Chain A
Amino acid sequence: MHHLLPLLAAGPLLGATLLVAAGRRLPRVVAESFACAVCAATGVLALVLLLNSSPPLTEWVGGWRPVHGESVGIVVIGDGPSLGMAVLVSLLTLAALVYSWHYFEEPPRGHAGSYPALMLAFQAGMCGFAIAGDLFNMFVFFELMSVVAYALTGFRIDEAKAVQGALTFGVVNSLGAYAMLTGIGLLYARTGELAMSRIGRGLDAYGRPDALVLAAFVLVLTALLVKAAAVPFHLWLPDAHAVAPTPVCMLLSGVMVELGAYGVWRVYGTIFAGPGGIPAADLERALVALGVLTAVVGAVMCWHQRHIKRLLANSTIAHTGLFLAALGVLTPEGDDGAALYILGHAGVKAALFACTGILLDRYGNVDERALHGRGRDLRTVGVLFAIGGLALAGLPPFGTGIGKAVSEEAVGGPLTVLFVLASAVTSGAVLRVAARVFLGLGAPPPKGAAYETTGADEEPETSGRLDRIPGTMIFVPAVLLAGALAVGVAPGFPTVVSRAVAAAGTGRTPVDVHWTSTGVLLGCLSSLLAVGLAAVAVVRPGLLTAPSWALPLRRLQSGHVGDYVAWLLVGATVLGALALPGVLGG
């Protein structure tokens, strides 16, 4: 069974190469059906491997099994979290492919296969990253998914915003990747190994952590936190997610950003968790501090957007902050909560983007103010959008609800307030959009002010504006929401996730995870708060619009690549400072 693990990356790549080779002659329908079939087959393979992943699978690619504990090969890991992420990646890619069925105006002439081939390569990159057990291999697949993501983000080359967002994305993420490679160089110099578990043992054998360990930790985490869009590494994300084609947004926000958080969990657990690594207290301080900052900044920025895709992108930032805070407390409950939250959030966020895509293709516009009341005739889409908005607040029994409830229990104390507020504000922003656009509530807002990105005058992604919404474009968000619901209601599913996370070699005993009355209450509280915020925003817009203290925060989001690089360096410094005490004090 374990021999099949590398096929999670190789399978979609094989499909991509065949599509490009034959793509010049294939009609579009055939190319896209083939891509869907390959994507689904990879998903089934990931699922079968997941069901057989207890005890965790390991595979030495090329058959280089360790002799006397030493190997020259590359190890890939098939445990619950890695294969779970691979399944999630495959499902979302399939959803995005189905959503974009007959979607783009026209593929590049004579290259019908290039868009589905890029999507398959994206899937391969993300799956390869998820199952990587070797640090350099992780870097390679990190780069693969990044490169494909830049190309997909800039896919609509006639949009000035799209190419700018894609370049910013490319520069910041590549810089992060090179930081990671520098970190790999440092770790290799110290331990002479590349497999993550061997590096961890090498560090432990060396003794107390020193500046080298701290620098390697900072550099590797910089790359992963850039991917995860933690503040202050996050500035590229709204620019990229707002301009990418909608199906690509579904993947970027739904799973690629979360893979960054997953990478942090994997790298810390396998490399830096031992006595020679970074002490747990320091990691907790760093991740919780960055997580709180990220959640607050994301929620505030989310509230102040009028470009709907940018609003959703900022809500992704806020939620990543919550995931990082949940992972940061380093308890089994925190890991379980983050895993469930990521699963639920992926479905909800992808569904919201899918609904926004319909607006874009019908009205050539994703601006909340310009669309005021124009969505009245899209009743189904409006209902889906509103349900998605409520699910974002963690309304029971959605998967986001149980994920949030378990995380809140894990973090405890004042951080619970953060979870309730951040999810309520982001959800409130989405509900505000739903009320204004689909119900036409409130007075038509004035034409807006200075420092912001409007969503007006966008090109639809389909050939011309849609008169009738294709069935697939409604079906996909509905199924995604149903999936997010299933995460929360399927009996025993949370416990299964908890067991899979515990079996992933962290040596923790699985905990029993289920809905608690506190969790349900807090979930309802968040949803009520969200509805309240949205209602106030619609009825009395003056009360909640742009207080002046949010303006400096918005000015940071300048779209200038130099600013983003400067903040990336600040982020690395802050990360180093947060983790410094444990390295200094014996």
Chain B
Amino acid sequence: MHVFPYLVAVWIFLTGCYGLATSRNLIHAVGCLAVVQSSTYVLLLAVGYRDGGTAPVFSDLKPGARPLVDPVVQALALTDVVVGATVTALLLALVLQIAKRHGTVDPDELTELRG
């Protein structure tokens, strides 16, 4: 049980990589990249968890009343979310242009660059 959340993160990471490598549609591939990224959320939040901990927000909590989960990894995860969303948007914009220029979004059919 003590390693289970970490193993879930590893599983998600590798699943995303498998999807990326075998993808037949670039939109699907960008989605797989987002899957790889979500493994980092799981890992970061799992690393920051403390048994019985609550959110590190004191608007309705007396300081010291309960154990808190690690706020730093939550901030890191937030940064991670923003980075992931923007990268996804940019890559989808590129996929859109690929669809226009190549007339396909199947990576097997893109043969302009090789050798």
Contact = CB atoms under 8 A, between A and B. Distances in A.
A194 interface: yes
Given A171-B33, A188-B73, A562 B113 contact: no
A558 interface: yes
Interface string B22-40: 1100100110010011011
A85 interface: no
Nearest to A572: B17
A316 B37 CA distance: 29
Interface in A211-244: 238-239, 242-243
Contacts of B83: 140, 143
Interface residues of A, number: 51
A407 B83 CA distance: 38
A163 interface: yes
Nearest to B37: A178
A174 B101 contact: no
B9 to A, nearest CB: 8
A151 B83 CA distance: 15
A161 B112 contact: yes
Contacts of A194: 72
Contact of B33 (A175, A185, A239): A175
A60 interface: no
A554 interface: yes
Contacts of B23: 561-562
A178 B80 CA distance: 9
Interface string B95-112: 101100110000110111
A439 B47 CA distance: 63
A170 B86 CA distance: 12
A-side interface mostly:
helix
Interface stretch (A30-38, A42-50, A152-160, A320-328): A152-160
Given A170-B90, A181-B40, A561 B111 contact: no
Contacts of B110: 164, 559-560
A185 B94 contact: no
Contacts of B91: 150, 167, 170-171, 174
Interface of A: 136, 140, 143, 147, 150-151, 154, 157-161, 163-168, 170-171, 174-175, 178, 181-182, 184-186, 188-189, 194, 238-239, 242-243, 304, 451-453, 554-555, 557-563, 565-566, 569
Interface of B: 9, 13, 17, 20-23, 26, 29-30, 33, 36-37, 39-40, 43-44, 47, 72-73, 76, 79-80, 83, 86-87, 90-91, 94-95, 97-98, 101-102, 107-108, 110-115
Given A154-B97, A167-B91, A239-B113, 16 more contacts: A140-B79, A147-B86, A160-B101, A163-B97, A163-B98, A170-B91, A171-B29, A178-B37, A181-B44, A184-B76, A185-B73, A559-B111, A559-B112, A559-B113, A561-B107, A562-B23
